[in-house]
Structure 1
Amino acid sequence: MHDTPSDPVSEASRRRTFAVISHPDAGKSTLTEALALHARVIHEAGAVHGKAGRRGTVSDWMDLEKARGISITSAALQFSYKGAVVNLLDTPGHADFSEDTYRVLSAVDAAVMLVDAARGLEPQTLKLFEVCRHRGIPIITVINKWDRPGRDGLELLDEISTRIGLKPTPLTWPVGIAGDFRGVLDRRTGAFIRFTRTAGGATVAPEEHLAPEVAAAQEGDAWTTAVEESELLSADDGDHDQEQFLAGRTTPVLFASAVLNFGVGQLLDVLLDIAPAPAPRPTVDGGARPVDAPFSALVFKVQAGMDSAHRDRVAFARVCSGVFERGMVVTHAGTRRPFATKYAQAVFGRERSTLDTAFPGDVVGLVNAQALRVGDTLYVDQPVVFPPIPSFAPEHFAVVRAKDTGRYKQFRRGIEQLEQEGVVQVLRSDLRGEQAPVLAAVGPMQFEVASHRMENEFSSAVLLEPLPYSMARRTRAEDVAVLDAVRGVEVLRRGDGALLALFPDRWRLSSVQREHPGLLLEPLVASADLPVAAGA
């Protein structure tokens, strides 16, 4: 029971805000859909992507995502479940968009790490795990696709332990080998939870809870093996310890098949039982903002084009403290200017509804908030600034021009919008001029998204001309003249004012550093070295 609708402490205790992270194709969007299905907020899952005549998942709203069958943008879904409020943030499914995933991880209290039963830990999973470790985000692991042939369960646990240093503490254990998924042994109760397939996994899979002796009689050797392996885990200190989990030393493990909706209900229950509620949030001055302090929020994402009818722009803000009330006037920490919140919405995939109140852990969509950028802090009464969210070091560069010079106004508006959202970084110089800015990206698919959106949202098809650079370093105004004189090096200004020197390769960078040791050539946060970013 919670006290009153306006009590931020009791309301925060009911919130669970988490992200789903994994390597591409491990089933993130399918799991997102299955969780919403189990919470009864949708009636039928559209888990098959990119097939003619099939629906995309509710979180993949962009045309390009549906065509590719991957998540490019992150999406926020909020729903109620057993008296709790679940804020689920889906994340991009491609490594080229890891910067967007990093932003989402700045807004959550826990993460669900999805591991493919056949492939185990993969590079993108490892990279994102490091972000979670650095940010102190506790991780629940879901070994997915157990309905397909895959690796041995104990072998997968051993890989998690040796490669990322987390002690796996399974809460469920599969009955039946990978490819023969009959159900799970609930290691906390000793009972057997048997799953039954539904047509295409489109509806919630029926579950039966059976006593151990009934399971032994009906499942035979498969049950016996599961019990023996569970006992081995207990002997190896593999039982859940809440304190160790919250300290980031262990990871509870569940076995599932998201596409069949097997094990998804268990994940929702586990999130309610053990995932942390919103807590005091660290601030730039080394303190922490208590959840019952006056309202504050962090903008972690800006997105346009979600509503094709209105062409509006939404800034997603995670409530960090206090109570949000639609219409309240908040202060933008960066400019100290007031900001009215008349148009506040809750977002569920593509669907939106007016949001009147929100509490710590909730995500508020602020519509047409032109003044807001990723990393901005909002507050009322007591000033606060949360740590900024850094931009990554770009590794791909291309000049962008409008195909039709008569549509320059649309071109400029589109480029500014993509820059504000952080879809790509935009670099400019007096030499190149406003009509030919440089797009800078972590991965080449960002160019594809930028080009697609320029044509389809802003009615300005573009031409992209790749540039021969692969490295960027931050420099300062007094060093520009020297760098401009170096062949094959170019200095451009980013939207946030940073001066970036671009180099074709590491050899040229080293050579310039040798010849001009006094130059400032400061490394940027690298996507391959995410943990550096957290305190940047």
Structure 2
Amino acid sequence: MTAAADQPTSPVLAEAARRRTFAVISHPDAGKSTLTEALALHAEVIDSAGAVHGKSGRRGVTSDWMEMERKRGISITSAVLEFTYGDAVINLLDTPGHGDFSEDTYRVLAAVDAAVMLLDAAKGLEPQTLKLFDVCRSRGVPVLTFVNKWDRPGREALELLDEVEQRIGLRPMPVTWPVGFAGDLRGLVEVATGDFTRFRRTAGGATRAEAEHVPAERAAAEEGAAWSTAQDELALLTEIGAGFDEKDFLAGTATPVLFGAALSNIGVARLLDALVALAPGPGERDDVDGRPRPLDAPFSGFVFKVQAGMDPSHRDRMAFMRVCSGRFERGMVLTHAATGKPFATKYAQAVFGQQRTTLDEAYPGDIVGLVNAGALRPGDTLHDGPRVEFPPIPSFAPEHFAVVRSADSGKHKQFRRGIDQLDGEGVVQVLRSDLRGDQAPVLAAVGPLQFEVATHRLESEFHAPVTLEPLGYSVARVTDAEGAATLQGQSEVEVFTRRSDGALLAVFAHPWRLESVRRRYPDLRLDAMPAGTVESAG
């Protein structure tokens, strides 16, 4: 095949090839939101970054716009930042690191083509990082690794690489290498060329670090033992075959590794360049029947997130849609695959954190914000032309349950509207039963922080203060009508209907109670929720 034959043959394919859509994943406090903002800073789409000086004194970063995020100093909802970098169009998705919000992260990972796994130089692979990597592996999302905080005391570089290979089975392929141990970073070596770059930090990391390119001979003389150690380590990596292999990276068996310090903006520009050069562009996605959807097929996209309250002055609701095929044009009337009804796209926007701008067109890989999308839920497909539907995004198995009631009888309308909103966004799962009625729905969550977000939003956005009454359940399984009838009245068991999709959930006080019921009724339907979204990702 000739080189010309490999080139895009249509405007849609040409535009898709420019897109890089990726998420940043990590354990809490690894510096994820700081890195997100540093990437935007190096792309020159913001003038200065908000430095993070611990949670209590944190200035808000671009991707953390909710009031609770600013107060707590953690990301509790995913955010989208779209910008251009050179000829590339970047769709960067910041994700919550806390395990209580891993369902939101899972939805984001359904919408990206690659992920940046952020490691703390002192802590290495942490529990939530491992769980999120498992999700990437299950979805076939290739992973680049950025070892962060190398300007602080930490572990040895070779030790960290060995941990990545031993614990998650990814062969590390260093792209840059530190000169100087963690806490005494002298600069970074480009592994492929041997070029050395030294950095001069700026006050608080508010602007880009100044980079000085130093010839190898001068670096050897000026850095002394640190340079010699780095060269010995690089020689060892060459001996064990740690060179970059694109095929292994895209297959998910190896990971490019870069070092740096996001807070000081060191190594961030190189990471951005690596993402453009190495990360895959949009590819064909399988529809619900397993058929690949060509990029230049008529327009299709799926909703992976719904969010209200992004702008306190506007009580609108935005659905975030990943474009999968074709060209999107603002004003298109699309078909909502779940209902067959038309959906107008007059109010389409590009999103940069909390900021919005009108978007006229988009291509595969882009994220489109659809305003006032009350009919849309995470997992929904929109399309033009013949019907197409993408696989739904599974819900996690909840492990925490609480009855929620309005604390002010005069605010019941606001209370019901707020519950509907939270349910539609997937902030929590909302369950109902004939026994409890609509006055006292049950909130189900992966982690208790989701309850805190729900109650805060009910009070701040809907002016509907609530009370929560924890329920003593910890295990959920999907059942059917026959199972529901059998379980009716059983001790330490209750059956609810999930409002979002009508699924029947049987909840049990303890795992042993579940096993007891299974032994007594071996033919009863008690299905675990989809693999990769239950215990392994929660």
Q: Same fold (TM over 0.5)?
A: yes
Q: What is the 5 A alignment of 1:248-397?
A: 248-397=252-401
Residues 252-302 of structure 1: per-residue CA shift (max 9 Å, x gap): 000010000000000000011110000111111111111111111010000
* In structure 1, distance between residues paired with 2:338 and 2:352: 29
Give deviations 1:95-121, integer Å, cap 9, x for gaps: 000000000000000000000000010
Q: Which moved more, 1:52-61 or 1:242-251?
A: 52-61
Q: 1:432–1:510: structure 2 CA closer, same or farther, 3 Å change rule?
A: same
**1:177-225 alpha-carbon deviations (Å, 9 max, x no partner):** 0001111000111110111111011100011112211211221111111
Match in the other structure for 1:454:
458
Kept in 1, the 8 Å contact 2:58–2:73? The answer is no
Displacement of 1:26 in angstroms is 0.4
SS in 2 for 1:431: coil
For each residue in 1:64-83, what CA deviation from the matched residue of structure 2 results, as whole angstroms up to 9, or x when unmatched?
Answer: 01111000000000111111
1:229 aligns to 2:244 (yes or no)? no
1:478 is matched with: 482
- Corresponding residue of 1:170: 174
Pairing partner for 1:517 from 522, 531, 534: 522
Which amino acid in the other structure matches residue 163 of structure 2? E
Let me know the Cα RMSD of the aligned residues: 1.7
**Structure 2 counterpart of 1:122, from 123, 126, 134:** 126
Once the two structures are superposed, the pairs formed by residues 196-207 of structure 1 within 5 Å of their partners are: 196-207=200-211
Deviation, structure 1 residue 509 = 1.1
Equivalent residue number for residue 507 of structure 2: 502
* Superposition pairs of residues 377-456 of structure 1, within 5 angstroms: 377-456=381-460
- Report the CA distance between 1:154 and its aligned residue: 0.3
Aligned pairs for 1:41-80 within 5 A: 41-48=45-52, 55-80=59-84
Cα gap change, 1:376/1:279 in structure 2, threshold over 3 Å: closer, same or farther?
same
In 1, distance between residues paired with 2:254 and 2:22?
17
Checking the alignment, whether the CA contact within 8 Å between 1:476 and 1:499 is kept in structure 2 is yes
Q: Name the % identity.
A: 67
404-413 or 210-219: bigger deviation: 210-219
Equivalent pair of 1:130/1:530 in contact (CA under 8 Å): no
Query: Which residue number in structure 1 is paired with residue 4 of structure 2?
Result: none
**Structure 1 residue 480 displacement after superposition:** 1.9
Which residue identity does 1:384 align to in structure 2? V
Structure-2 residue corresponding to 1:467: 471
SS of the aligned residue for 1:522 comes to coil
Residue 405 of structure 2 aligns to a residue whose secondary structure is strand
**Cα deviations by residue, 1:381-402 (Å, 9 ceiling, x for unpaired):** 1321111100010000000000
Distance in 2 between residues matched to 1:249 and 1:43, nearest whole Å: 37
* CA offset digits 1:341-377 (Å, max 9, x no partner): 0011111111111111111111000001111010011
Q: How many angstroms apart in 1 are the aligned matches of 2:136 and 2:304?
A: 16
Opposite residue 321 of structure 1, the aligned amino acid is S
Instruction: State which of 100, 112, 116 in structure 2 corresponds to 1:112.
Output: 116
Given that 1:146 and 1:179 are in contact with CA atoms closer than 8 Å, whether structure 2 keeps it comes out as: yes
SS at match of 1:482: helix
1-side partners of 2:308 and 2:461: how far apart? Answer: 9
What pairs with 1:175-194 in structure 2 (closer than 5 Å)? 175-194=179-198
Give distance in 2, aligned partners of 1:245 and 1:372: 35
Distance across 2 between alignment mates of 1:229 and 1:352? 46
Normalising by structure 1, we get a TM-score of 0.97
Among 139, 142, 148, the residue aligned to 2:143? 139
Shift of 1:49: 6.5
Match of 1:492 in 2: 496
Measure, in 2, the Cα distance between the counterparts of 1:50 and 1:233: 36
Deviations 1:155-186 (A, max 9, x none): 00000000000000000000110001111000
Q: Report the Cα distance in structure 2 between the residues aligned to 1:151 and 1:460, rounded to whole angstroms.
A: 49
Instruction: Name the CA distance, whole Å, in 1 between partners of 2:337 and 2:139.
Output: 22
- Structure 2 CA distance, aligned partners of 1:32 and 1:532? 23
SS at match of 1:260: coil
Compute the displacement of 1:481 (Å): 2.3
Paired residue total: 531
Corresponding letter in the other structure for 2:300: S
Shift of 1:51: 6.3
Q: Residue 313 of structure 2 aligns to a residue in which SS?
A: coil
- Residues 508 and 518 from structure 1, CA distance in 2 versus in 1: closer, same or farther, beyond 3 angstroms? same
- Cα displacement string for residues 127-158 of structure 1 (whole angstroms, at most 9, x for unaligned residues): 11111111111100000000000000000000
* Mapped contact 2:51–2:204 kept (Cα < 8 A): no
SS at match of 1:523: coil
3-state SS of paired residue (2:496)? strand
* Cα distance in 2 for residues equivalent to 1:532 and 1:233: 33
- 2:55–2:74 Cα contact (<8 Å) kept: no
Task: Write the distance in 1 (CA, Å) between the matches of 2:194 and 2:391.
Answer: 44
Equivalent residue letter for 1:512 = V
Give the partner amino acid of 1:396. Answer: H
Quote the residue 1:149 is aligned against: 153
Equivalent AA in structure 2 for residue 513 of structure 1: R
Does structure 2 conserve the Cα–Cα contact (< 8 Å) formed by 1:255 and 1:263? Answer: yes
What are the superposed Cα offsets for residues 30-87 of structure 1, whole Å, 9 maximum, x if unpaired?
0001000000111110132776786300100100011110000000001111111110
Whole-Å separation in 2 of the counterparts to 1:526 and 1:243: 27
- Which secondary structure does the structure 2 equivalent of 1:479 belong to? helix
